Amino acid sequence: MAKSRLNGRCLLERAASSRASQASMEYLLVVALTFAIMVPTTYLFYNYSKESGQEITDAQATKIGRNIVDTSETIFYSGQGSKTVIELNVPDNIVAAQIIDGREFVLNISTTFGVSELVFFSAVNMTTDGSECSINRCAIPGLGNSGLKKVKIEAVDKNSVNISTV
Amino acid sequence: MGLSVKGGRMKIKSQAALEFLTTYAWAFIVIAVTISTLYYFGIFDFSKYLPQKCIFPSQLKCLDFSLLPTEVRLKLVNNLGEDIQIQSISITNDATVPISCTADATPISWAHATQKDFTFTECSGGAYLPDERVELAVSMDYFAVNTPSHPIHKVNGKINGKVTT
C-alpha cells in the first residue's frame, strides 16, 4: 500500500518536472529567437545610422562653409564698414577651421576613416584676428568645436573681410 | 524500512539528474557544433548584408567603384569649384598586413566639374580575396592650382564592397 502510494507520488513529481522543463525549453526558444532577430537587426541599423551620420555631418559642414564664404563676398561687395552676424550650428565632427592665403576657408572634419578637409574658395580676401594668424594661415578657434556659434563678418577695409566668432 | 525508502528516492533522483545532464550535454554539443558550422560558413557575418558603398566628402564625390580580383577602380567628381592637382593617392585597410596596390602616377591635374577614374593595380595582401567583403580606406592629398602657396589638403574616403571573381 505504502509502496504504491510512493510510486504514485513519483509519477506525479515526474509529470510536474516534465511540464516545468517544457516551459523552460519554450522560454529558452523564445529568448533565442528574439536574440537571433535582435542582434543582426541592431548591427545593420547601427551601421546604416553611422554612415548616414557621416553624410549628415558632411552636408552640415558644406552648408556652413558655403554660408561663410557667400556672406563674406556679399559683405565685401557691400562696401567698407558693412558687417553682419550669422548664426551657425556647428556639428560634433568639426575639429578645426582656418583661412589659408586669404582665399581658402578650410573645415577639418573627423570621420571613422580619418580627418578630411573641406575647402571653400572665396573670390574676396578673408582674414581673422591677427593673434590667430601665422604666416599665411589664420585659425578660427571658435568654429573648431560643436554648438551654436555667432560669426561676425565685417568688411574692415577695402581689401578684405574679417571673420571672427562672437 | 524508512531508510530503504529514502535510499530508493535518492537513487531515482540521482538517476534523473544524470539523465538530465546526459541529455543536455548532448544537446549542448549538438548546438555548439551547429553554431560552429554556421560561423564557419559565414552565416553570422552580418556585414555582408550591408549595401556596397563608396563614401567620400561631397566635394570629391564618389560616383562609382569596382573591386576586381587584383584591381580597385574608383570614379570621383571634382565638386570643389577649382582646378586641383593631386599630389598623392593611396589605399589601405585595417588588416594586420594591409592591402598593397600600385596607384596612378602623380601629380594628376584635375579640372573642376570633371570626373576622373583612379585605378589601383597589382593589389595584394590585406585579405583582399575574390568573393570576400572588404573595407578599404582611400587617402588623397591635393592642392588648389590658383592658391599661391599651394597648401596641401587631405581627403579620406571609404569603399565597402565585395571583391568580384
Closest CA to A71 of A166, A145, A161, A147: A161
B138 phi and psi, to 5 degrees? Answer: -110, 135
Whether residue B83 sits in one domain with residue B31: no
Q: Range of B72's domain? A: 49-162
Could you tell me which residues are beta bridge partners of residue B109?
A: B85
* B91-135 pLDDT per residue, tens: 999 888 999 999 988 899 999 999 999 999 999 888 899 888 899
Say which of A6, A40, A103 has its CB closest to residue B147: A103
Instruction: Give the span between the Cα atoms of B79 and B144, in whole angstroms.
Output: 12
* A60-86 pLDDT per residue, tens: 999 999 999 999 999 999 999 999 999
Which residues, in sequence order, are CB contacts of B96 under 8 Å at separation 6+? none
Whether residue B134 sits in one domain with residue B88: yes
Whether residue B53 sits in one domain with residue B34: no
Nearest CA in chain A to B94: A113
Say which of B59, B151, B156 has its CB closest to residue A101: B151
Whether residue B156 sits in one domain with residue B80: yes
* A91-102 pLDDT per residue, tens: 989 999 999 999
Say which of B50, B144, B151 has its CB closest to residue A47: B50
Nearest chain A CA: its distance from B128 CA (Å): 18
pLDDT for res A12:
73
Q: Which triple of cell numbers denotes residue B162?
A: 565585395
Nearest CA in chain B to A14: B16
Residues of A in contact with B46 (CB under 8 A): 40, 43-44
Cis peptide before B98 (omega within 30 of 0): no
Whether residue B56 sits in one domain with residue B123: yes
Residues of A in contact with B145 (CB under 8 A): none
pTM listed for this prediction: 0.77
- Average pLDDT for A54-58: 89
Whether residue B86 sits in one domain with residue B130: yes
Whether residue B115 sits in one domain with residue B79: yes
Query: Predicted confidence band at A46 (pLDDT cuts at 50, 70, 90)?
Result: confident
Query: Predicted confidence band at A135 (pLDDT cuts at 50, 70, 90)?
Result: confident
Instruction: Give the span between the Cα atoms of B135 and A112, in whole angstroms.
Output: 12
Look at A112 and A152; give whichever has higher pLDDT.
Answer: A152
pLDDT for res A114:
87
pLDDT for res A11:
72
Does residue B91 contact residue B101 with C-beta atoms inside 8 Å?
Answer: yes
Instruction: Give the span between the Cα atoms of B65 and B72, in whole angstroms.
Output: 7
Whether residue B35 sits in one domain with residue B55: no
If you count residue pairs, one on A and one on B, with CB atoms under 8 Å apart, how many are there? 76
Query: Predicted confidence band at B78 (pLDDT cuts at 50, 70, 90)?
Result: very high
Whether residue B138 sits in one domain with residue B155: yes
Does residue B79 contact residue B60 with C-beta atoms inside 8 Å?
Answer: yes
Q: Do B154 and A116 touch (CB under 8 A)?
A: yes
Q: Decide if pLDDT at A52 tops 90.
A: no
Say which of A14, A62, A101 has its CB closest to residue B149: A101
Instruction: Give the span between the Cα atoms of B104 and B74, in whole angstroms.
Output: 11
Q: Do B153 and A106 touch (CB under 8 A)?
A: yes
Residues of A in contact with B148 (CB under 8 A): 101
- Average pLDDT for A37-48: 86
ipTM value, please give it. Answer: 0.77
Whether residue B59 sits in one domain with residue B7: no
Closest CA to A161 of A57, A86, A83: A83
Q: Decide if pLDDT at A8 tops 90.
A: no
Structural domains counted in chain B: 2
- The residue type found at B27 is A
Q: Decide if pLDDT at B1 tops 60.
A: no
Could you tell me which residues are beta bridge partners of residue B72?
A: B67, B120
* B19-49 pLDDT per residue, tens: 888 878 888 898 899 989 988 887 877 777 8
Residues of A in contact with B86 (CB under 8 A): none
Q: Which triple of cell numbers denotes residue A53?
A: 551620420
Instruction: Give the span between the Cα atoms of A119 and B81, in whole angstroms.
Output: 10
